[in-house]
Amino acid sequence: MSDASHVPVLLDRVLDLLAPALDVERPVVVDATLGLGGHTEAMLQRFEHLHVIGIDRDPEALARSRQRLAPFGDRVTFAHAVYDQIVDVVHEAGFSSVSGVLFDLGVSSMQLDLADRGFAYAQDAPLDMRMNNEDELTAADILNTYSSRDLARVLREYGEEKFAKRIADAVVAERAREPFTNSARLVDLIRDSIPQAARRTGGNPAKRTFQALRIEVNDELGVYRRALPASLEVLAPGGRVVVLSYHSLEDRITKRAFAEVTTTDVPRDMPFVPAGHEAKFRLVTRGAEMATESEIEENSRARSVRLRVVERNEA
């Protein structure tokens, strides 16, 4: 069996949910988070007439997925872009609309595995965390230049870190002695900043801070807030958007965006919905679906996943 960290999360369920939308003459799916191409490979194998547009901001990920997906030839279009550019990417690939869009959010297994990228707190590495190494802002820049107040805000909002102020104050005090460059020193500082009782549960205490820094470096939530409505805009009638999210911040954005497009402005007690007031989309999943215990056992990354799907109505 392949390394669990490289197994796409909820793979069979994702394929089953996309299948009805792909029962058209020339189906096109946007894999908005191509990564190592695991979901795309499985889609191309199962749906023989499918064309996939794979988007990734990480040049390393694109290079690896190109190699993996080479056997599928021109059935794949690769785009080095941030996924909030989805409408432009689809049009540049020669399509006016698509049958499906897949978002597998968060950091990819490849990015975690490459120590020099600085995403993983378990090993000492440069504090980089850029998904696209052509961008300027790094995690070290944030730690060394943000005020204590701004740093605490980032840790609180994006990491949901209870001890954000303590950590931020400690970072500002420590960087005056020597700027931050590598992750091990930051991990030690976080551990020392959190009360011992709070360290006994919830895994590595650095997890929330590293998540927050990564989100800030890559503007992940801002990009996703723009990308999700854009993906709905480019969807053909009967098409579906499938979202896999791994923390409450992403899932909240998804839930709100889907609720907005699946409700009408017609009062509930009206016996019918007047023409022109129908919801443009319908929810395919009831609430958020989670992984089964057997899937979590096989792939630990599935533990926190939340799956939501919406479909554009035919009308």
pLDDT digits (tens, 9 = 90+) for 64-78: 999 999 999 999 999
Q: List, as residue ranges, the binding site for S-adenosyl-L-methionine.
A: 37-39, 56, 83, 104, 111
Write down the CATH superfamily of domain 4-110+220-312: Vaccinia Virus protein VP39 (3.40.50.150)
Q: What percent of the chain is modeled with pLDDT above 90? A: 75
pLDDT at 314: 81
What's the token pair of residue 294? 């057997």
pLDDT greater than 50 at residue 104: yes
User: Element (H or E) spanning 29, and its range?
Assistant: strand 28-31
Task: Give the torsion sign (CA, 94, 98, 102, 103).
Answer: positive
pLDDT greater than 90 at residue 3: no
Q: At 201, is the pLDDT very low, low, confident or very high (cuts 50, 70, 90)?
A: low
At 13-29, the pLDDT tens digits run 999 999 999 999 999 99
pLDDT at 82: 95
Q: Tell me the C-alpha distance between 57 and 86, whole Å.
A: 12
At 286-298, the pLDDT tens digits run 899 999 999 998 8
More reliable by pLDDT, 279 or 144:
144
pLDDT at 257: 96
Fold designation for 115-218: DNA polymerase; domain 1 (1.10.150)
- DSSP-derived 3-state class of residue 1: coil
| End-to-end alpha carbon distance in the chain | 44
pLDDT at 20: 97
Q: Which of 118, 104, 47 is nearest to 227 (CA)?
A: 104
pLDDT at 106: 76
Q: List, as residue ranges, the binding site.
A: 37-39, 56, 83, 104, 111
Q: How far is CA 267 from CA 81, 132, 249, 256, 271, in A?
A: 41, 47, 30, 19, 9
Q: How far is CA 38 from CA 61, 94, 202, 264, in A?
A: 11, 24, 29, 37
Are residues 103 and 241 in contact, defined by beta-carbon separation less than 8 angstroms?
Answer: yes
pLDDT at 298: 87
Domain ranges for the chain, please list them: 4-110+220-312, 115-218
Q: Which of 159-173, 230-244, 284-298 has the lowest mean pLDDT?
A: 284-298
Are residues 86 and 231 in contact, defined by beta-carbon separation less than 8 angstroms?
Answer: yes
Q: Quick one: DSSP state of residue 52?
A: E
Range with the largest mean pLDDT of 163-177, 269-283, 292-306:
163-177
pLDDT greater than 90 at residue 203: no
More reliable by pLDDT, 122 or 261:
261
Q: Tell me the C-alpha distance between 183 and 140, whole Å.
A: 9
Are residues 61 and 34 in contact, defined by beta-carbon separation less than 8 angstroms?
Answer: yes
Q: At 5, is the pLDDT very low, low, confident or very high (cuts 50, 70, 90)?
A: very low
User: Element (H or E) spanning 153, and its range?
Assistant: helix 148-159
Cβ neighbours for 109, distance < 8 A, ≥ 6 positions apart: 3, 5, 6, 35, 36, 301
Length of the chain, in residues: 315
